[in-house]
Chain A
Amino acid sequence: MSHQLPPGFRLERKSNTEEFFINMGPQHPSTHGALRLTLRMDGENIVELVPHFGYIHRGMEKQAESMSYLQYIALSDRQDYLTAIQNNLGVVIALEKGMNVGVPLRGEYIRVMLQELGRIASHLVFYGCFGGDLGGQTCLLFGFKEREMIHDMLEEVTGSRLTTNFFRPGGSRYDVPDTFIPRVKAFLDHMEDTMKDYERFLSKNIIVLERSIGIGVLSKEDAIAYGCSGPVLRASGVNFDVRRANPYSIYDLFDFDVPVFHNGDCYDRYKIRIAEIHESLKILRQCVEKFPTEGPWRSKEKPVRLPVGRYYSEIETAKGLYATYVVAATTGEKPYRIHTRGPSFPHIAALNKMVQGHKISDLVTIMATLDPVIPEIDR
Chain B
Amino acid sequence: MGIINLAPKILDPIPGGKYVVNAIDYVVNWARANSIWPLTYGTSCCAIEMMSSSMARYDIARFGSEVFRSSPRQADLFILAGTITRRMAPAIQMLWEQIPGPKYVIAMGACTISGGPFIYDNYSVVRGAQNLIPVDVFVPGCPPRPEALFHGLLTLREKILKETCRNPWHEGEPKDVSTMDRYREAAKTWAALEEMKDEQMAEARAKFKEENPDYKSTFKPVRVKKEEFPVVERVPFKRLGLTQVELFQKLRAKFPNVTVHTRGEDTPEDLVAKMPADCPLEVMLEKEDYLNVVEFVKNDPEFKMDYLIDVTAIDYDDHFDMVTMLRSLEIGHKIFLCVQLKKDFSIDEEKRPTSLLAKVPSITKFYPGAEVKEREVYEMFGINFEGHPDLRHIFLDKDFVGFPLRKDFTHPEMIRRPI
The one of B43, B312, B329, B404 in contact with A55, judged by C-beta atoms closer than 8 angstroms, is: B43
The one of B56, B279, B367, B404 in contact with A59, judged by C-beta atoms closer than 8 angstroms, is: B404
Contact between chains at B230 and A10 (CB < 8 Å): no
Stretch at the interface among A62-70, A267-275, A281-289: A62-70
Chain A residues contacting B263 (CB-CB under 8 Å) are 308
Beyond A145-B56, A246-B332, A300-B229, is A225–B369 a contact (Cβ under 8 Å)?
yes
The one of A26, A56, A224 in contact with B44, judged by C-beta atoms closer than 8 angstroms, is: A56
Contact between chains at A102 and B43 (CB < 8 Å): no
Q: Does B134 contact A (CB under 8 A)?
A: no
Q: Does A359 contact B (CB under 8 A)?
A: no
In the docked arrangement, what's the CA distance between A339 and B316, Å?
15
Chain B residues contacting A301 (CB-CB under 8 Å) are 229
Contact between chains at B390 and A8 (CB < 8 Å): yes
Interface set, chain B 92-127, CB cutoff 8 A to A: 95, 117-118, 120-125
Stretch at the interface among B83-91, B190-198, B351-359: B83-91
Beyond A163-B45, A349-B369, is A325–B323 a contact (Cβ under 8 Å)?
yes
Q: Does B223 contact A (CB under 8 A)?
A: no
Beyond A59-B125, A301-B229, A341-B310, is A81–B234 a contact (Cβ under 8 Å)?
no
Give the Cβ gap from A77 to chain B, nearest Cβ, in Å: 8
The one of B42, B87, B238, B279 in contact with A54, judged by C-beta atoms closer than 8 angstroms, is: B87
Interface set, chain A 243-278, CB cutoff 8 A to B: 245-248, 252
The one of B40, B238, B316 in contact with A246, judged by C-beta atoms closer than 8 angstroms, is: B238
A86-120: CB near B (< 8 Å → 1, else 0) gives 00000000001100111110000000000000000
Contact between chains at B395 and A53 (CB < 8 Å): yes
The one of B95, B120, B332 in contact with A27, judged by C-beta atoms closer than 8 angstroms, is: B95
Chain B residues contacting A238 (CB-CB under 8 Å) are 329
Number of interface residues of B (CB under 8 A): 87
In the docked arrangement, what's the CA distance between A188 and B135, Å?
44
Contact between chains at A59 and B124 (CB < 8 Å): yes
Beyond A56-B85, A323-B325, A325-B310, is A66–B235 a contact (Cβ under 8 Å)?
no
Beyond A10-B389, A57-B396, is A144–B371 a contact (Cβ under 8 Å)?
no
Q: Does A74 contact B (CB under 8 A)?
A: yes
In the docked arrangement, what's the CA distance between A339 and B377, Å?
11
Contact between chains at B229 and A59 (CB < 8 Å): no
Contact between chains at A34 and B43 (CB < 8 Å): yes
Chain B residues contacting A78 (CB-CB under 8 Å) are 44-45, 117
Q: Does B220 contact A (CB under 8 A)?
A: no
Interface set, chain B 8-43, CB cutoff 8 A to A: 40-43
Q: Does A134 contact B (CB under 8 A)?
A: no
Give the Cβ gap from B41 to chain A, nearest Cβ, in Å: 6
Contact between chains at B118 and A59 (CB < 8 Å): yes
Contact between chains at A300 and B230 (CB < 8 Å): yes
In the docked arrangement, what's the CA distance between A170 and B234, Å?
9
Contact between chains at A247 and B234 (CB < 8 Å): no
Chain B residues contacting A226 (CB-CB under 8 Å) are 368-369
In the docked arrangement, what's the CA distance between A312 and B42, Å?
32
Q: Does B307 contact A (CB under 8 A)?
A: yes
Contact between chains at A161 and B49 (CB < 8 Å): yes
Which residue on B lies nearest to A297, using beta carbons? B229
The one of B42, B122, B397 in contact with A63, judged by C-beta atoms closer than 8 angstroms, is: B122
Interface set, chain B 286-336, CB cutoff 8 A to A: 306-310, 312, 314-316, 323, 325, 329, 332, 336
Beyond A162-B143, A312-B279, is A337–B70 a contact (Cβ under 8 Å)?
no
24 contacts between A and B (CB under 8 A): A8-B392, A26-B91, A54-B394, A54-B396, A56-B83, A57-B396, A61-B405, A62-B405, A63-B122, A66-B121, A81-B143, A100-B233, A162-B45, A226-B368, A227-B307, A227-B308, A246-B240, A300-B228, A300-B231, A308-B263, A314-B309, A325-B310, A349-B369, A349-B372
Interface residues in chain B, defined as those with a beta carbon under 8 Å from any beta carbon in chain A: 40-45, 47-49, 51-52, 55-57, 70, 82-83, 85, 87-88, 91, 95, 117-118, 120-125, 142-143, 145, 228-235, 237-240, 261, 263, 276, 278-280, 282, 306-310, 312, 314-316, 323, 325, 329, 332, 336, 367-369, 371-373, 380, 389-390, 392-397, 404-405, 407, 409, 416-417
Interface residues in chain A, defined as those with a beta carbon under 8 Å from any beta carbon in chain B: 7-8, 10, 26-29, 33-34, 53-59, 61-63, 65-67, 74-75, 77-78, 81-82, 96-97, 100-104, 125, 140-141, 144-145, 147-148, 151, 161-163, 170-171, 224-227, 238, 240, 245-248, 252, 296, 298-301, 308, 310-312, 314, 321, 323, 325, 327, 329, 336-337, 339, 341, 345-346, 349-350, 374-375, 378
Closest 6 A/B residue pairs (Cβ): A54-B395, A102-B232, A227-B369, A144-B55, A299-B232, A57-B395
